[in-house]
Amino acid sequence: MPRRMAFPTFWLLATLAAIGLTAPQIGRAQQQAPARDVVANFAAGRVEICAAKATLLIATADEPIEPGSQPPEIFGLGTGRLGILLGAVEWIEPGSGAPPDQFAQDLIKIGHDAPGAQTEAVAGNEASDIELLGIALLERIRAQAEGFHHKIDLAADEPLVELIVADYVEGYGFEAWLLRYNVTQQTLGNDYWVTRVSRPNYTQLYPPEKGQPRTLVEVNYPPEATDPSLLDRLQRDDPALQNIRSASPQLNRATTEILAGQSPKSIATDDADFLRAAMPVITRAEARLALVEITEDRDVVWVVGAPAHATAQAAAPGQKSEPDAPSLYKH
C-alpha cells in the first residue's frame, strides 16, 4: 500500500531555511528578475528499478538527447537512500562568472538533514520525508526558472526535471518514488514570457498496489521516448535478451522471476548480472552505465560506476561544465 503524502508546515520552513531562501526573497526575485540567457546540462537516459531478495537494484544508462547530455545523476540522500535526477540538472548563466547551479548539491545536504523514512504505523500514514525533498527541489527550480522570460524549448507535457527517490523503510520494505516538475508559460507579447513551475507530481513506482506484479520498473527522460521498455522486450522474447537469458542457469532464473512478477524472490547477484548485460542492448553498446544496490541493512553497494563518476558526492562549486551545453531556449 502506498504511503500517503502530508507535508507539515514547519518542515517547509526548515527546508527553505536550509537552502537559503525565504518566501519574501522568492517573491522579490520573481518580481525583479530580468530576462536572462541560461543554458543547461541535461541528464537523459533510462533508469531500471528491480527489487530482488533483500536488495533493491537501480541501473542507469545514458541516452544523449543533445551535445553535452549527461547520464542520469545518482547521489546519496542520507544513509541508505539514493536520489536520481533527470532533465535540467545543471544551470549556467554564460558570462556571469557565477558557478553552475547544481540541484544535487542542495538535495544531498537536505537529504542528510531530513528525518528518515518511517512506516505508516510510526509516521501516522504520512510520507513527509519524500515531500520534504520534493518541496526543497521545487523552490530551487523556481528560483531559476521563474526568472526566465524567453520561450523554453520543451515538448508538450515534458517535465523540466524529474527526481527518483529510492529507499528501504524499516517495517515497510523497499520503495521508489518519481517526482515530476512541469512548467507552464504565458506570453505577455514582444517575446516576453512568464514562467511558472508547478508543485511536483508524486508517483510511487515501487511497491505496486496489492496484487500487482512486482517486476522491473522503468523511467525514461525524455518521457516521450518510444523505444520499448526492458520489460516489454523481455515479454516479447526479444532475441538479444533471450541470448542473455540463456547464457547461464542463473540469468534464466532471474529473468523467469522478473517475468512472473516475483522479482523479490530472485537473487540480487543474478539480477545485477542480467542488468549489466541488458542495459547496453536496450540503449547502445557505448552507453555510460551505473548499477547500484540498496540492501535491507541500508547499505549502498556500487556494482558499476564509481561514486565520483555517478555523483554520489556533489561536484565542487565552480566545476567546469561542458562547453556545448544546450540552451533551454529556441533561437
Q: What is the pLDDT of residues 103-151, one digit of tens each?
A: 888 888 888 776 655 544 344 445 578 988 999 999 999 988 877 788 8
Give residue for cell 518580481. Answer: 31
Q: Are 280 and 289 in contact (CB under 8 A)?
A: yes
What are the backbone angles phi and psi of residue 307, rounded to the nearest 5°? -55, -35
- pLDDT for 305: 84
Cell numbers standing for residue 138: 521545487
Does the pLDDT at position 229 exceed 50? yes
pLDDT, mean of residues 69-98? 89
Rounded CA gap, 235 and 241, in Å? 10
For domain 15-23+35-222+286-304, give its CATH number from 3.30.70, 2.60.40, 3.60.20, 3.90.660: 3.60.20
pTM of the model: 0.81
- pLDDT for 68: 81
CB proximity list for 221: less than 8 A, separation 6 or greater: 42, 43, 44, 45, 72, 86, 87, 162
Rounded CA gap, 144 and 29, in Å? 9
Residue 2 DSSP one-character state: P
Choice between 268 and 95, residue whose per-residue pLDDT is larger: 268
Does the pLDDT at position 204 exceed 50? yes
pLDDT, mean of residues 222-243? 92
Count of residues in the chain? 331
Q: Name which of 142, 37, 42 is nearest 94 in CA terms.
A: 37
Q: Are 163 and 73 in contact (CB under 8 A)?
A: no
Q: How confident is the model at residue 289 (pLDDT cuts 50, 70, 90)?
A: very high
- pLDDT for 116: 59
Identify any residues that bridge with 88 across adjacent strands, giving them in sequence order.
42
Q: Following CA atoms 247, 253, 215, 290 in sequence, which dihedral angle do they give, to the nearest 10 degrees?
A: -40
Q: Name which of 263, 202, 201 is nearest 230 in CA terms.
A: 263
Rounded CA gap, 59 and 49, in Å? 7
Choice between 120 and 276, residue whose per-residue pLDDT is larger: 276
Q: How confident is the model at residue 156 (pLDDT cuts 50, 70, 90)?
A: confident
